[in-house]
Amino acid sequence: MTLGNIDRQEALQYRPGQRVELKQRPGTFDVIAAYDSEMVPPITLENDPQPRYPEELSVCSNQRRLGWLAFGDSFQMQRSA
């Protein structure tokens, strides 16, 4: 696997809108605002001014289950403001 492939995989995993949990603060969730492989650390969160490294975050599943019906990334629930 080349460095470019790793960057692409990481960019897909940590894409904007992805919900994550901070490993140092279990139970604290945020949403990725931006991922920039040229920046160190590369991940900016919506509600945290400190940029983060991927190893500091746990990616939460985007899948939502409603009874027998499951929705993936193509279905987004509106966030309350």
Domains annotated for the chain, with CATH where assigned, are 3-71 (2.30.30)
Sequential pLDDT tens for the chain (81 residues): 565 777 788 888 999 999 999 999 999 999 999 999 899 999 999 999 999 999 999 999 865 544 555 555 444 444 444
Prediction pTM value: 0.69
State the pLDDT at residue 18.
94
C-beta separation of 34 from 49 below 8 A: no
In 3-state terms the chain splits into helix, strand, coil percentages (rounded to 5) of: 15, 30, 55
DSSP tag of 20 = E
**Residue 49 confidence (pLDDT):** 93
